[in-house]
Amino acid sequence: MDSTKIALDNNIYMDKLQNIARITLLFVLAGVPLVFIPIGGNFDQFFLPKVLVLFILDLGFYVMMFINYKKIDKFVDNDITNKLLLVYFALLIVSLFFTDNLIFAVFGRPDRSEGIITFLIYMTLFLIGRYSKISDNRFYTAIIYAAVIVSIYGILQYHGFDPFPRNYRTLDYGKSAFSTMGNSNFLGSYLVLMIPVTVYLYIIKKRNFGLLSYSVLLYCLLCSRTRGAWLGTMLSAMCFVILHIISDRNFKYYLKRYFVIILISIIIMLLFNLLSDGGLVNRFLSILLDANEFLSGGDKSDYTGSHRGFIWKRVIELIKSRPLTGYGIENLGETFIKYYSNDMIEFWGEPRYVDKTHNDFLNIAVTTGVPSMIIYLSFVFSAINKGIKNLQNNMGLLLLPSVLGYLAAIFFNISVTSVAYVYWVFLGMIASSTIKSEL
């Protein structure tokens, strides 16, 4: 009788924990993207407010886990994925001993707020995502509603209407679409994560809401004019089709809906190109021109990718100088000025604060070391491998294209607090060991 009662109490506890995990993620994915404080001036409108909300949500979960610490093993799986995550976090801690600015490394730089505390938040969300095992389609509908609101705001900005005051950073953005993310590149990365979910809702779940939301998000993606995000979305689309073919013998049954998606995409791109006076075609062609210039090492290779060529070449040299520990989380800006002020004056006419590499993998290597980057990539590949194994239960098909597309996009972009938490949650959800089949 006692063993039966203990088993029953454990089941009640697990159900309660599951519900709290799901509610937490609902607030994270459907609420946090909408969080910003538009008061203008020198205030951080976009990044710190989101981090504070995430911190509160994580803290609430930690309190509950502390109260039930004896059952922590039921929340965290003792597998290779979580072990790699633990090693990665340990290497982040080690990097603190080799940083010039410890405050930045712990709390993050102002207007970025991505120090080691924020990475701990991301990792907690990853674990909650692994544990949640959410199969309710209403959950994914809710997060897409939030994405539609974010996208509509971005579209309005692009077309010259912004009802909210801007801060010192966004004041000169003009008609750029940055919405609640604080930057066009960050908005693009967010949409890379969300667009495959809308495709899933339309093609697999046969919901017209999916098609409507896809149309809005795609148009906003074009408004962001973020080439890395465009490439990431293209990759995610290819991954979706390939994974669908692999996981479903009745793939041909969905071809009509694929045709509709393709037709709508063409119409939206033609419309945007018309409204932007050929801006879409010109911007897309610039990808090919920049890639050819950078790979050929031409005289203008430093100018490619909005000056990414200039940054990447020098970051690689910094990595060679300190490959094991890096220069510290959020410490690249000071390091770049220290070693390359003269280069920047010659290139830009003034020294600039290069706080990120615009390639997240290089950024990890230069700030926390090459071993840290290797462990991080091993951790990501381990999680993705679990997502591939979940294809038959549809979780892999639902979120794996988003994760792969995001990883492609941040090859030209950066991890940022207004978007990265979504990626970490999705990565955790595809790494879940067991998923219900209602999806």
| Residue 331, phi then psi, degrees to nearest 5 | -110, 10
Predicted structure pTM score: 0.91
Is residue 147 one of the residues assigned to a domain? Answer: yes
Is residue 132 one of the residues assigned to a domain? Answer: yes
Average of per-residue pLDDT values in the chain: 86
Taking residues 172-190, what's their average pLDDT?
90
Q: Which domain holds residue 156?
A: 2-285+357-430
| Closest by Cα among 162, 177, 399 to 272 | 177
Give dist(CA 143, CA 152) in Å, integer: 14
Residue 147 confidence (pLDDT)? 97
Residue 150 confidence (pLDDT)? 97
> SS3 string of 14-43?
HHHHHHHHHHHHHHHHHHHHHCCCCCCECC
Residue 6 confidence (pLDDT)? 44
Is residue 347 one of the residues assigned to a domain? Answer: no
Is residue 320 one of the residues assigned to a domain? Answer: no
**By the 8 A CB rule, do 52 and 121 touch?**
no
Number of compact structural domains in the chain: 1
Is residue 346 one of the residues assigned to a domain? Answer: no
First to last CA, the chain: 37
Q: What is the pLDDT of residues 358-391, one digit of tens each?
A: 899 999 999 999 999 999 999 999 999 988 887 7
- Number of H helices and number of E strands within the chain? 17, 0
The size of the chain, in residues, is: 439
Q: What is the pLDDT of residues 36-61, one digit of tens each?
A: 998 877 888 899 999 999 999 998 88
Is residue 350 one of the residues assigned to a domain? Answer: no
Residue 61 confidence (pLDDT)? 83
Q: What is the pLDDT of residues 193-205, one digit of tens each?
A: 999 999 999 999 9
- Helix 137-158 vs helix 208-224: angle between axes, to the nearest 10 degrees? 40
Is residue 329 one of the residues assigned to a domain? Answer: no
